[in-house]
Amino acid sequence: MQVIKRSHLLHSISGLAVIAANPAFAQNKENKNERPNIVLIMVDDMGYSDIGCFGGEIPTPNIDRLAEKGVRYTQFYNTARSCPTRASLMTGLYPHQAGIGEMTEEPGNKKETQNRPPAYQGYLNRNCVTIAEVLKEAGYHTYMTGKWHLGTQEQSRWPLQRGFDRFYGILTGAASYFMPQGDRGLTLDNTPLDPPKQPYYTTDAFTNHAIKFIKEQKDDNPFFLYLAYNAPHWPLHAKVKDIAKFVGKYDKGWEVIQKERYERMVKLGIIDESWEIAEWESRKWDDLTNQERENSSLRMSVYAAQVYAMDYNVGKLIDYLEKENKLDNTLIVFFSDNGACAEPYSETGFENVDMINNVNSWVAPSYGLPWAQVSNTPLRKYKVKAYEGGISTSFILSWQNKYAKYNNQIRHNVAFLPDIMATFIDVAETTYPKEYHDGQKIIPLQGTSMCPTVEKPDKEIHDYIFGEHYNNCFVRWKEWKAVKDEKIKEWELYNIKKDRTEHHNLAQQHPDILKSLVERWTKWANKSAVYPKQLNEK
C-alpha cells in the first residue's frame, strides 16, 4: 500500500474535488387537499447504526429531528442489495415478481441480460405497477431525484415511462459524486446530460432538484417525491470541509467505536442489552501498523462525511417544506436500501486511500469490511447476506397531521419493503389495480399498510416474510428466522427476539420449526419464480 500522510492527502483531494388513465384509481380525487404529500427518502448502503437516533456518532441532527417527530422501526427488512430492494420498494412485490431477482441491467451490456428467465431479466416488467403509477392515477404529482437502478438500456424502462412526471439523477447503480459522466452520467427527464460544471456534488444536486420540482408545481394537488440518494455508497467522495470535521475521530479504532455505538443503542431502546455483538471477522485494531490505522481511520472519516452531507441535505428539504407550510401534512419515510457494504470483503476495501475523491472513479475506494461491521452494530454480516446485518435498516415514519401524539416512539413490529406501497395507497385513499399497462394483469400486492402499527405497537401485519438473493435465503415467522448463506448447504435457525445478532443456531434443538419454515420458504420460492435462475437450469 502506498504510504501517504493524512495532511497531504487532504490537500490533494481538495484539488480533485474542484476539478472535478385507469378507472380503478378514480376515487377520492375531490379530497385531494386533505391527503398528505408523500416523501420517500432512501439512502444507499448505510449501516443500521450509522445515524444518531439509532446510536451512531455521526452527527445527523436533521434525520434525528425526523425521528423526534416520528416513529422509529427497529425490525424493517429490505432485500440486502440495491436493485432488488428498489424493485420491491417501487412495486410492492417481491423483487423476482417484478423482474429483478438479482441485479439490474448495466448500461450498454445487453448480452448480460440475454437468455435470462423473466424473474431475472434485470428491469421492471409490465405485470407490476410502480408507486408513481399508482399515485399519479390518484391525482398526485410524481417526482424523483437520485439513483434509479431499475433498467437503463431502453428508454421505456426509465422513470418517466414508469409513472414519474419529473426525474433528475443517475440511471445506473453507481457514479462519481463529483463528475457523473459517460454511461454513468446524469439524466434530466428523458435527456442525458453533459458532465456537470464544477463545483458539483450529487447529494446536493439531488436535493436541489427535488425542491425545484416541488417549487415549479402550479396547483395544490398533493405530490409524491422519491429522493434516492447514492450516499454513502462507494466510492469515498466527500467535500473536503466535511471530511475535515471527522479526521482523527476514528483513530480510536473499530472495537471502541462499535462498543460506544452498542451502549448508545441499548440506552435508546433500539436493541436489547442481552444481545451479544455479532462475531468479529477481522484483525484487532491494535494488530495494525500505524500507517494501516491512519489509512483505515481516514476511510471511515470520508464515509462519515458522506452521511453527514446527506443529513444536512435532508434538513434542507425539511426546512423548505416547513417554510412553505407543507411539512405537517407530509408523510415522510426514511430508510436504507440494504445493510452496510463490506465490498470487496477485505479489511482495506477497494484500492488505496490516495484514490479518495478521484473524480473519474465510480467505484474506488471503499471503507472495508471492519467498518461495515461497525456500521451494522450489533448485527451479523452485511450487504448481500440474509443475516440481519444485510437485510435490516433503520426506518423512520413521520406524519405530524395524523401521528404527532406518537412522536419519538419506537416500534418493534416486523415490516418489509412491499408495506411501503401498501401504506402509501392507504394514506392516498386509492386502490391497487388488477390490470394496467393496456390490460396487462398485475401481480397482487404483497404488502400491508403500516399505519395500524403506529397506533398499535403490538399489531402483527405479517405471518411470514421471505427473501432470496444470490442463494442467500431467509424466512421470518414471529420471533423465528430460518436463514441459509450462499456458501453453506444447511439452513440455520435463530430466535430473533432473544438473539437478534444470530449467535446461537437452534436448528438441532427445534428441528420441527426449522423444517416447517424451510417448507414455507420453498413454497414461496416456487410461487415467486425464484427458480430457475438460468434457462439451462434443471
Q: What's the CA gap between 332 and 334, in Å, rounded? A: 7
Considering the candidates 96, 141, 149, 462, report the single residue annotated as catalytic.
Answer: 149
| Grid cell of 381 as nine digits | 454480516
Q: Return the biggest CA–CA distance within the chain.
A: 67
Per DSSP, the three-state class of 434 is: coil
SS (H, E, C) 281-340: CCCCHHHCCHHHHHHHHHHHHHHHHHHHHHHHHHHHHHHHHHHCCCCCCEEEEEEECCCC
Long-range contacts of 187-193 (CB under 8 A, 24+ apart): 187/158, 189/160, 190/155, 190/158, 190/160
Whether the CB-CB separation of 379 and 278 falls below 8 Å is answered with yes
The answer to whether 267 and 53 have CB atoms below 8 angstroms apart is no
Residue 53: all three cell numbers together: 437516533
Do 413 and 457 contact (CB within 8 A), yes or no? Answer: yes
Task: Report how far apart, in Å, the C-alpha atoms of 144 and of each of 162, 173, 315, 329 are.
Answer: 11, 15, 18, 19
* H or E segment to which residue 224 belongs: strand 223-228
Q: How far apart are CA 186 and CA 146, in angstroms?
A: 9
Residue 248 CB contacts under 8 Å (≥ 6 apart), including other chains: 297, 301
Q: Which of 53, 83, 341, 473 is catalytic?
A: 83
Let me know if 83 is a catalytic residue: yes
Q: Decide: 113 and 80 in contact? Cβ < 8 Å.
A: no
Secondary structure element (H or E) that encloses residue 441, with its range: strand 440-441
Distance CA 383, CA 339 (A): 5
Q: Which residues pair with 392 in a beta bridge?
A: 77
Q: Contact, 482 vs 442, CB < 8 A? A: no
Q: Are strands 166-170 and 141-147 parallel, antiparallel or unpaired?
A: parallel
CA 66 to CA 60: how far, in whole Å?
10
Q: Is 504 one of the catalytic residues?
A: no
Report the 3 state secondary structure along 475-497.
EEECCEEEEECCCCCCCEEEECC
What does the alpha-carbon distance between residue 190 and residue 188 come to, in Å, rounded to a whole number? Answer: 6
Distances (CA, A) of 325 to 146, 322, 401, 475: 25, 5, 12, 43
Phi, psi for residue 53 in degrees, rounded to 5: -75, -5
- Report residue 142: phi and psi, to 5°: -130, 120
Question: Which residues are annotated as catalytic?
Answer: 83, 149
